[in-house]
Amino acid sequence: MTERKLKYFFIKFISLFSVVRGYNIFVIVIAQYLASIFIFAENETILEVLLDANLFLIVFSSTLAIAGGYIINNFYDSEKDLINRPHKLMLDKLVSQEFKLRVYFSLNFFAVVFSFIVSWHAAAFFAGYIFLLWFYSHKLKKYPFIGNLTASLVAVLPFFSILMYFQNFHSVIFVHAALVYLFVLIRELIKDLTSIKGDLANNYRTISVVYGESFAKHCISFLSVLVLIPCWLLMNKYDVGYMNYFLYFALFILLLINIMLYKTDATFGYKKIHVLMKILILIGIFSILLIDAQVIHYGKRLLLP
């Protein structure tokens, strides 16, 4: 392969990596395995979880389906991104729309095939998940409330595929899920504030566009108050180890975010708040490590449950 072809292939790979947001997918994979080790399969050793072939197939199917979701979302959002994220769009456009669609259908096909190896239930789950991702990108995201609620749902659904695999229906899992869902929903509302211009230009009827920035901020504040419920339950009703410290930290950051929200009405300010919320969610993912104090202190559970 000539140097020119190598360069072309590399640029195309980087462009596709940007479209599927490979960095986000990498974080999701880490989150799925951490959740499997410390929440879903708490009675299994770390090695048992990491060497579980069926779990690998479920996680891999998740990555393929999520990557496909990012592609179809990028496909429908190209005009909006021209206003909201012009620099990223320039990179994304290095890959043609036709090529993106070919990759999209291939990813979805293999997501269903690999999950079918685990069970037909898993295949049915991912087929439904893929349809929901498409329907959200094509229709639902253009409408207030339902678009935000669905966006948050598709973000947490991959973890439910793992829940169904381990068949662990302990109530603490649903409290964790509620907390994650609220975090993601807050982030979605903040993201809408950063993209008002593109949404207006392309007739996206988001909460910020239809009801105004002030109402969107009130919704974020209301959701921030709701976060207190799963936080209180995790701190007082369940043993989450040192994760308590993260919960206190999260509440402080949410307070800070709300203060910042009401002090700004500029896109740049909203973008800073959006980044802060994304960092909080990222820290939250790694805070799962704090649930089992033995791992932190002694490195236990690698071989013995």
179-202 pLDDT, tens per residue? 999 999 999 999 999 888 777 777
C-alpha distance from residue 261 to each of 85, 146, 189, 221, 229 (Å): 21, 23, 11, 9, 22
Sign of CA dihedral 50, 51, 55, 61: positive
More reliable by pLDDT, 23 or 175:
175
240-291 pLDDT, tens per residue? 888 999 999 999 999 999 999 999 888 889 999 999 999 999 999 999 988 8
Transcribe 228-246 into DSSP letters. HHHHHHHHHTS--TTHHHH
Least confident of 114-128, 160-174, 217-231: 160-174
**Region 14-39 average pLDDT:** 85
The owner of tokens 């979805």 is: 108
Close Cβ partners of 302 (under 8 Å, ≥ 6 residues apart): 45, 46, 47
* Tally of CB atoms within 10 A around 253: 17
Domains, the chain, in order of start with CATH, read 1-168 (1.10.357), 170-305 (1.20.120.1780)
* pTM check: above 0.75: yes
- Alpha helices for the chain (secondary structure H): 3-19, 22-35, 46-50, 53-76, 78-84, 86-92, 97-118, 120-138, 146-166, 171-194, 196-201, 207-211, 213-226, 228-236, 243-262, 267-286, 293-298
